[in-house]
Structure 1
Amino acid sequence: MTNWAMTYPLPPLNALRAFEAAARHLSFKLAAHELHVTPAAVGQQVKALEARLGVRLFDRLHKQLILTPAGQAYLPGISEGFRHIAEATSQLKPAGAVLLQLGVHGSIDLRRLDLAEFRSAHPDIGLRVLQPAGLHELVEGKVDLLIARGPSRHPGYRCDRIDEASGLGDWLIAPEGTADCPEVASFRAWLRALQAETPPANRRPRLVGIGGR
């Protein structure tokens, strides 16, 4: 029997995600909100995909996005492919578990976050950590939540300070669209509990809300 390998001629995954979301919503803006990126980024990904495929997928009219015949033909297969990927991925997770991907900047000591205790206290949340990670990984959807060091405000994101120093500091950053989902709220509450339970002399960073939160 002959052994042979097949290489699938696939376009970039991010470009396919941008097309699929934009096609479902018929809106770059709504697709951007779903994917936690900017509308311009969605438009650029779709444009790059069209250039790679050599076909136009959307007609861009004034304040309206319409699928071309090629886009209409392409969408069902792409949506079905993502559904199969999601189903296959769900089989790898413990029953009922929700995956939370946390990005952390390179200079933070993970021991101060007591992540093992968080996992023990929240068996329904599958926590994975990417370090080092920054805002780029959050924007690209590689992480759901980010502990970053830098300025306080990023448009479209909720930022909570987790230290008491002035100027640059550590922040818990999440897209506004998912900032209050249960797993993110649980991790935010975990940081608050760490502060409350630790004696002042050994106190970990304090979580301080931004913008009245």
Structure 2
Amino acid sequence: MTYILPPLNALRAFEAAARHLSFKLAAHELHVTPAAVGQQVKSLEARLGVRLFDRLHKQLVLTEAGQAYLPQISDGFRRIASATAKLKPVGAALLQLGVHGNFDLRRLELAEFRSCHEEIGLRVLQPAGLAELTEGKIDVLIARGLGHHPGYRCDRVGDGSGLGDWLIAPAGTADCPEVASFRDWLRGLPAENSLAPHRRRVVGIVRS
């Protein structure tokens, strides 16, 4: 049996936008621009031949067709995620980490992280900055500077103020399992390796 399906990216864009009732929040979750989400939804509507949203002034509202479509699409994604989690294949979850150019990657003990988290496929892009994060080229970023970016969760490892190294992730995906696992890994690094001086395994997280 051949399944006739719309493009997966368009379905993901619709499902995220419908949950948030916002192209902007969906874009943060999917690591793309709001314009890209809007274009994906528009292409899906054209393919299906129905309007899924009413685009009112500064407001996104599901049409009757969109309301009927959303539960089925969300359930399908949940089933796929559940089936994948049960398999637990090596590298099933991909985490794309960006790091600023002056950071010494040896401090992260990435070989040990990969060994302890075989279910996560870790890729590293260096140098990387906020541009790569907002464009969806990476999932999480270690950046140098001040950790204040609207729409993003910014965690500073260790105490202190002013400039420092920050772990930055879109608010919509900041607590997904692979990002949370990496955040916990940073917290447990030895003091000489951690992003800020502190005692071993007593690293505080300051959330902006």
For the aligned pair, the TM-score class normalised by the smaller chain equals 0.5 to 0.7
- C-alpha distance in 1 between matches for 2:143 and 2:129: 6
Q: Contact conserved, 1:158 with 1:174, CA < 8 A, in 2? A: yes
Given the alignment, which residue of 100, 103, 108 partners 2:97? 103
Q: Contact conserved, 1:59 with 1:68, CA < 8 A, in 2? A: no
Which range moves more in the overlay, 144-153 or 85-94? 144-153
- C-alpha distance in 2 between matches for 1:76 and 1:193: 39
Counterpart for residue 109 of structure 2: 114
Matched, 1:14 2:9: yes
| TM-score (normalised: structure 1) | 0.60
Following TM superposition, by how much is the alpha carbon of 1:67 offset from its aligned partner in structure 2, in angstroms?
A: 1.7
Q: Contact conserved, 1:36 with 1:140, CA < 8 A, in 2? A: no
The secondary structure found in structure 1 opposite 2:153 is: strand
Alpha-carbon spacing, 1:9–1:135, altered in 2? closer, same or farther (3 Å)? farther
Counterpart for residue 3 of structure 1: none
The C-alpha deviation readout for 1:17-47, integer Å capped at 9, x for no partner, is 1212333x37226962882558944444323
Q: Contact conserved, 1:105 with 1:149, CA < 8 A, in 2? A: no
Following TM superposition, by how much is the alpha carbon of 1:173 offset from its aligned partner in structure 2, in angstroms?
A: 0.9
Counterpart for residue 200 of structure 2: none
- C-alpha distance in 1 between matches for 2:120 and 2:131: 20
Following TM superposition, by how much is the alpha carbon of 1:131 offset from its aligned partner in structure 2, in angstroms?
A: 2.3
Counterpart for residue 121 of structure 2: 128
The secondary structure found in structure 1 opposite 2:76 is: helix
- C-alpha distance in 1 between matches for 2:176 and 2:47: 36
Given the alignment, which residue of 48, 63, 66 partners 1:67? 63
Choose 1 or 2 for highest CA Rg.
1
Higher relative contact order (CA 8 A, sep 6+): 2
Counterpart for residue 84 of structure 2: 89
- C-alpha distance in 1 between matches for 2:76 and 2:135: 20
Q: Contact conserved, 2:32 with 2:136, CA < 8 A, in 1? A: no
The secondary structure found in structure 2 opposite 1:35 is: helix
The secondary structure found in structure 2 opposite 1:194 is: coil
| Identity across matched positions, percent | 57
- CA RMSD in angstroms comes to 4.7
Q: Aligned AA for 2:54?
A: D
Alpha-carbon spacing, 1:20–1:183, altered in 2? closer, same or farther (3 Å)? closer
The secondary structure found in structure 1 opposite 2:95 is: strand
Q: Contact conserved, 1:191 with 1:206, CA < 8 A, in 2? A: no
The secondary structure found in structure 1 opposite 2:87 is: coil
| TM-score (normalised: structure 2) | 0.61
Matched, 1:175 2:165: no
Matched, 1:146 2:138: no
- C-alpha distance in 1 between matches for 2:71 and 2:206: 42
Aligned residues: 195
For 1:4-43, what aligned pairs fall within 5 Å after superposition? 10-11=6-7, 13-23=8-18, 25=19, 27-28=21-22, 32=26, 35=29, 40-41=34-35, 42-43=37-38
**Structure 1: gaps (5+ residues):** 1-5
